[in-house]
């Protein structure tokens, strides 16, 4: 019942008896006492109604603004994370809190796998998302999240979308490079960065278009005993259960890359500069973008594949902003991964 309706009902029930009582009493002191009590009762009724109205207000979602993180961050020990994930999985009770038909978990793979290999690893569990990256040695390449409810079909379709986005990104970089005028050192450096970005984006597009071995992690949901079975499979590096996760849209998953083996560090680019690269480097081993500011220097995932690519710039632009740098692997980990299949 709304507060206004309740007040009207109180008026209808309390005021007529009080009016009759006042009419019967002729004594001034009696009238004063009755009016005083009437005022007290009315004030109490109004106060009680206000409190009731506040308590009866609908309660919103108390989890608004809360974000759960699952995985690693810069500076974390990778062996420590793997041990912690194994301990959490072993201690996960059969009645652990879960969403839907199981408990969410972050599955990290030992190496980059093509979509077809995922069926043997994740075929019997519910998959929400996979993480991919083109593993070019010493090159900075973007980490992408691909929604994948059906493995491997959705992964292949997602890679095709990433390939189209990367091709548009490469065209944008080339347009920006062509728009840079001048022969000074600053202009040359900016032009080289755009050219380098175009070359790397072209290589990424070619890799994803052919269904490269680029997937290295996935978000799954299954019962605890099923998750333990997944952890025992040859291609699985770790299964990090997250029974505290109830909503994927309020959860950030940051799996370690296969080549990150000691400590998660900011990215580094050890590839050759564009000036020293051969003319055919675009098709073989494209140079990486020059390191820029700390915009992309973290181990967190890049935006999902559905985010559109940059709008191609106009040829009349003379001072375009430098290209952004995506996430790269831990430069001081184990040996560099093999180039992506093409």
Q: pLDDT digit string (tens) for 220-237?
A: 999 999 999 999 999 999
Choose among 281, 242, 263: nearest CA to 329: 263
**What local confidence, expressed as pLDDT, does residue 290 receive?**
33
The verdict on residue 328 lying in a domain is no
pTM: 0.64
Cα separation, 216 vs 232, whole angstroms: 16
Mean pLDDT (the chain) is: 75
**264 contacts 76 by C-beta, under 8 angstroms:** yes
Q: Which among 33-37, 254-258, 267-271 has the top mean pLDDT?
A: 254-258
- The residue-averaged pLDDT of 118-138 equals 92
Range of the domain at 78: 68-92+101-261
The verdict on residue 32 lying in a domain is no
The DSSP bridge partners found for residue 202 are none
Domain count for the chain:
1
The verdict on residue 334 lying in a domain is no
- Strand 251-254 and strand 68-71: pairing? parallel
The verdict on residue 333 lying in a domain is no
Q: pLDDT digit string (tens) for 6-29?
A: 556 655 666 666 566 555 655 555
**136 contacts 182 by C-beta, under 8 angstroms:** no
- The residue-averaged pLDDT of 255-277 equals 72
- The residue-averaged pLDDT of 313-328 equals 40
The DSSP bridge partners found for residue 231 are none
The verdict on residue 208 lying in a domain is yes
The verdict on residue 320 lying in a domain is no
> How far, CA to CA in Å, does 260 sit from each of 29, 48, 115, 224, 303?
89, 62, 22, 27, 21
* Residue 171, CB-side half-sphere exposure with 13 Å CA sphere: 11
**What local confidence, expressed as pLDDT, does residue 123 receive?**
83
The verdict on residue 338 lying in a domain is no
- The residue-averaged pLDDT of 308-322 equals 39
Q: Who wins on pLDDT, 37 or 135?
A: 135
The verdict on residue 168 lying in a domain is yes
100-105-109-114 Cα dihedral, nearest 10 degrees: 30
């Amino acid at each position: 019942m709304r507060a206004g309706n309740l007040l009207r009902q109180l008026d209808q029930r309390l005021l007529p008896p009080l009016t009759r009582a006042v009419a019967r009493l002729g004594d001034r002191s009696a009238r004063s006492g009755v009016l005083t009590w009437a005022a007290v009762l009315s004030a109490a009724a109004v106060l009680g109604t206000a409190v009731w109205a506040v308590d009866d207000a609908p309660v919103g979602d108390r989890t608004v603004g809360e974000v759960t993180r699952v995985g690693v961050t810069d500076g974390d020990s990778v062996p420590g994370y793997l041990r912690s994930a194994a301990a959490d999985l072993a201690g996960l009770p059969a009645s652990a809190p879960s969403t839907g038909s199981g408990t969410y978990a972050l599955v990290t793979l030992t190496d980059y796998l093509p979509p077809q290999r995922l069926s043997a690893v994740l075929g019997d569990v519910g998959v929400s998302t996979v993480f991919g990256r083109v593993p070019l040695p010493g090159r900075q390449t973007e980490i992408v999240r691909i929604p994948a409810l059906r493995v491997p079909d959705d992964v292949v379709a997602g890679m095709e979308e990433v390939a189209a986005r990367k091709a548009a990104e490469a065209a944008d970089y080339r347009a920006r490079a062509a728009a840079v005028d001048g022969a000074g050192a600053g202009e040359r450096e900016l032009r080289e960065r755009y050219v380098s970005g175009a070359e790397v984006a072209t290589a990424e597009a070619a890799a994803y278009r052919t269904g490269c071995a680029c997937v290295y992690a996935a978000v799954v949901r299954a019962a605890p005993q099923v998750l333990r079975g997944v952890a025992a499979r040859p291609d699985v590096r770790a299964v990090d259960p997250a029974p505290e996760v109830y909503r994927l849209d309020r959860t950030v998953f940051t799996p370690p890359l296969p080549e990150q083996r000691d400590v998660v560090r900011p990215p580094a680019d050890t590839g050759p500069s564009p000036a020293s690269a051969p003319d055919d480097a675009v098709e073989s081993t494209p140079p990486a973008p020059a390191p820029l500011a700390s915009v992309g220097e973290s181990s967190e995932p890049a935006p999902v594949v559905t985010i559109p690519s940059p709008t191609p710039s106009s040829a009349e632009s003379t001072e375009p902003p430098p290209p952004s740098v995506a996430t790269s692997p831990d430069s001081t980990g184990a040996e560099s991964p093999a180039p992506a299949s093409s």
